[in-house]
Structure 1
Amino acid sequence: MSKSLQAIRGMNDILPEQTPLWRYFEGTVARLLDNYGYKQIRMPIVEFTELFKRSIGEVTDIVEKEMYTFEDRNGDSLTLRPEGTAACVRAVLEHGITGGGQVQKLWYIGPMFRHERPQKGRYRQFHQIGLEVFNLDGPDIDAELIIMTWRLWGELGIRDAVKLELNSLGTSESRGRYREALVEYLSAHHDKLDEDSQRRLKTNPLRVLDTKNADTQAVLVDAPKMADYLDDESRAHFEGLKARLDAVGIPYVLNPKLVRGLDYYSKTVFEWVTDKLGAQGTVCAGGRYDGLVEQMGGKPTPGVGFAMGIERLVLMLETLEQIPQEISRQVDVYLCAFGEEAELAGLALAERVRDELPNLRLQVNAGAGSFKSQFKKADKSGALYALILGDDEMAQQVVGFKPLRGQGEQQSIAWDALAAHLATCVVQG
């Protein structure tokens, strides 16, 4: 017997009972971004491998160990995108939409791919919403990104469950001076470092600060601090960001070990973290990448952005029981029709109602069935009300209106008054 077909490990189906919460989350974010003046961009899932090597950095864990890379029929090396910023920068460069200093405030949504060890909150195909802003170099836009996320957490009801961590990585020059000091210090304690940190010391020493190894963390207590190596411009930028967050009343924690896992970051970096999801504590992260556009062949262009993990945030809503009651109901009204004449009239009546109430979720029974079986399906749909069309209703040109979830007797509503009645009971009620 052949092996049964299954989804690839770490690449999950999102089932019908799960999608309402996803749609609620995605819709909430999209509405918020519209209100702040951001425009959506959509990029391909597959890009040339060189794009990510050049932007993320060849000695990062993502490029070295986690990318899904393959050769196509033309012999080109292609990669399923592991993150969105590089692809977005490629798109704005290719289409010239940031030329001449044009400010672009963009957002995107979609799947990303990394070959990691699957666990709760971490998958090989995962979904992100990302923002990228180009040609604004002040701390005001950094603050706006953080303020937007703070407002989002409030709208979702999870503000008390997240914490903002901040750091500044300075310019490439100041970061270079800090890297030299860090390498000198860590080299003197080489034997106390874990194996992964010893490897990173030679390839990407700032990532040693990210270690979860307790022995290496103990060594880092007395290590040089990035704040002591910041240039005046970066220090002023960071102070400006903190002043704006203080003005709005957003609490934050300074984390000198926060470096992020991508080479292109400079100045501001931030993470929103939680202790509600076990080991996978980061739900949104980003920062400034002023040198990336130039690194990828464009003119010097300031950039800043972030990405949030949809799986983790949906899991947080479930864990904290912050699921709006209305999204669990997919149907407002269920129409039951008995006999061919009633079925035809029911279809026409349903379309008239939909014309007048386009937001009403009205399901018409399909597959005929007895009175009992249709009402069983109406109840299972979760609808608030059932509409009934039989011989008696057809003769009087009325429809039976029966509450399914609360008090109230069945009543008869004239066909031409049905939409107005439903507007009162469902759309406004």
Structure 2
Amino acid sequence: MRTVLSRPDFRLLFGGLLASMTAESILLLALAVWVKDLTGSDGHAGATIFAILAPRMLAPLVGWFVDRCPGRPLFVITNLATALLLTPLFAVRDAGDMWILYAVAASYGLSNLTIGTVLSRLVRELVPPDLLGEANGALQTARQGLRLIGPLAGAGLYLALGGWLLVVVGIVGFLLAAVVVGTPRTLPGPSELPAGPRESPAATATARLRWPEELIAGLRHLAGEPALRRALLGYGLGSLVMGFTETLIFAYVDRGLGRDPAFVSVLFTTQGIGGLVGGLFSAAVLRRVGELGTLALGVALFGPAALLLAYPNLWLGLVAVLMAGLSLPLSMVGLHTLIQRRTPAELLGRVAAAAEAVVRFPQTVSIGMGALIVALLDYRLVFVAVGLVTLLAGNHLWRGRHLSPPSGPATRPRIPTQRSGPGVADHDVVASGGRLPEATTS
């Protein structure tokens, strides 16, 4: 991790992301707690998370847009827009203003998808292929580490001073991210970056005529690449039930432990400890078992965590959320690194967004269903079902780990910065897993 953070361009991107991730960690859970406090409903609290994830259905359009915009300006503009989108929350007073909360949550979900898609592209542009796992591990370590303070800070600010202070913190965080990353000279310009093959004006004009096909180019790549196809199938299966826990955790705290909704922040903070450990070791795990193996371990760890939550006991619950926290960075680092290494540069925005949609669509459905299921079924039985399905999904991923074998200790291949002809540079071959990228239009 020290190696990748020694790169000035990545370090500045990392600093900007710390500001936006801090705002995100404080806001995400606090919005759900705010809804629970206004309505007294576990279902409405879970529906807030659903509203945040629902815009991910627009992922193909977002990816198509990201692939056609300069990365740094788009990152800056999206963070500024996110800060602006939070301002209607100042008008929320009671349960009659719930529509404002849901509208802001949906808008925030769309901007969050855009930021994540741009980030995947920026990391690929700034970091050599052998350091992608380390870069993704550093980002996940920071994200999970913020769970140690973010949820508790968000819940504490809400209980002490109300929702308006949360909004101020969120706005400041996203504005700061835009300023840091938007500062001149923070990231290299397009002429300095290794890029995919250039297209002729005629090819570009043809691509514009076929824009509907371009929207699904990311999905086509995911379906045609064996390792990515297995990753999305296995992780998608796990996500189909993992989303239940977004609502179940409120029922677990309320009905099982008999505590106030704000106690969820304690569990999220504990989860952050596991996430911090997972982020720190994710690059080492990646080198040992490969991208699919790392993803498999992450998904499978969620199984016993869910099974432990089927029995309402505080100490078992803390162990469970620690395991759930450990699983998340392993899953994310494995999936993101696999996508970055197996995707041509000119397709990365669409593939990253399409992967997000494929994974998050079943999760979004399960969150929506969870808001209903928690009112109809014993939440403990649902936790058991979640545990069994995620163990099955992890096994499916583990059996395919040979499709992305470990790369061993990181080396520093010589990557040309200029192209002397129409061929594909070494950077593209390494980044696509040692294969020449298929010809695509962009």
Q: For this structure pair, what is the TM-score category when the shorter chain's length is used for normalisation?
A: under 0.3
| Higher Cα Rg, which structure | 1
Instruction: Please state which structure has a larger fraction of its residues in strand.
Output: 1
- Tell me which of the two structures has the higher relative contact order, counting C-alpha pairs closer than 8 angstroms and 6 or more residues apart: 2
